[in-house]
Amino acid sequence: MTFQRRTAGPEATNRQSPVVPDIDRPRCGDDRRFATVGELSLLADQAAATVADPASVLSEVIKAVVDSEADPYIVLGVLAEGAAWTLAERFPDERQAVALQGFLQIIGNRVQAKRSR
């Protein structure tokens, strides 16, 4: 994935953001929050198609989006939907409950660690 520094406008920061190809893609109105989610999906699709380890690519895309100005509530919703879809589609029925417990434990541990700092 190629990154470039943001330099536009007085609010520019030192954060890096992915370069998004200039192609036509559907948008949900003019709301920038939805465009960002669409860009996340596009980036993940493009990167996963060219890399042997799509999970690694997804991890990098998630980090880039979390560091961006994307609406955190929408990002969390997209991630929750992805987790639910993965659990329902990729895990055998008899292992879904255990996988869900592990997933929720990871989230709980991360939140607790953040509170303990």
pLDDT digit string, tens, across residues 47-82: 777 767 888 888 989 999 999 999 999 999 999 999
Instruction: Assess whether 60 and 32 both reside in one domain.
Output: yes
Count the domains in the chain.
2
Residue 83 and residue 60 in one domain: no
Question: What's the pLDDT at 35?
Answer: 67
| Gyration radius of the chain's alpha carbons | 16
In terms of phi and psi (left: phi > 0; alpha: psi -120 to 50; beta: otherwise), the region of 19 is beta
**pLDDT at 33 (0 to 100):** 57
62 in the same domain as 16:
yes
Q: With a threshold of 0.75, does the pTM exceed it?
A: no
What local confidence, expressed as pLDDT, does residue 52 receive?
A: 74
Q: Which domain holds residue 102?
A: 72-117
Q: For residues 2 and 58, state if they share a domain.
A: yes
Whether residues 59 and 3 fall in one domain:
yes
